[in-house]
Amino acid sequence: MQVIREVREVESEEIVIRVPKEYRKKRVEVIILPLLDEKPGKEFSKEIEDFLSLGGSGCWEGDLDEMRRSRDGIG
**DSSP at 49:** H
> What integer pLDDT is reported at residue 13 of this predicted model?
94
Indicate if the pLDDT at residue 1 is higher than 50: yes
* Tens digit of each residue's pLDDT (9 = 90 or more) over 15-27: 998 888 888 999 9
Q: What is the pTM of this model?
A: 0.42
Cβ–Cβ < 8 Å for 44, 37: no
23 contacts: CB under 8 Å, gap ≥ 6: none
Structural domain boundaries in the chain: 36-75
For the stretch 40-48, contacts whose Cβ atoms lie closer than 8 Å and that sit 24 or more positions apart, written own/partner, are none
* Tens digit of each residue's pLDDT (9 = 90 or more) over 28-58: 988 888 877 665 555 667 777 777 666 544 4
C-alpha to C-alpha distance for 55 and 20, rounded to whole angstroms: 27
C-alpha to C-alpha distance for 38 and 36, rounded to whole angstroms: 6
